[in-house]
Amino acid sequence: MWKKSFETFLEKIFHENKLEIIFIIISMTTCIYLYLNLFKYLSGFRSFLAIIPAVWKMILSISI
């Protein structure tokens, strides 16, 4: 049951704009992965704040 609805959901997504959505998904996952890894190795609140704008710039530059 859920598989069928998931397939129709995917068909709707890919019917809209396949490449754009794939790029957004890839960029989001890579940004989250990099963000978590950097946060693991860097210590302190200042470094935590410094990463946020860079991640957003990456997301915006890839998705536009």
Q: Which residues of 26-40 are buried (b: 16+ CB within 10 A; e: fewer)?
A: ebeeebeeebeeeee
> Taking Cα atoms as reference points, which of 63, 55, 64 lies closest to residue 23?
63
CA atoms within 13 A on the CB side of 33: 6
Has residue 24 been placed in a domain?
A: yes
Predicted TM-score (pTM) of this structure: 0.35
Has residue 51 been placed in a domain?
A: yes
pLDDT tens for the chain, 64 residues long, are 567 777 777 677 666 666 777 777 888 888 788 877 776 666 666 666 777 787 878 777 876 5
Has residue 7 been placed in a domain?
A: no
User: How many domains, the chain?
Assistant: 1
Q: Which domain range does residue 38 map to?
A: 16-63
The 3-class secondary structure across 8-51, one letter per residue, is: HHHHHHHHHHHHHHHHHHHHHHHHHHHHHHHHHHCCCHHHHHHH
Say what the pLDDT of residue 11 is.
Answer: 72
Has residue 46 been placed in a domain?
A: yes
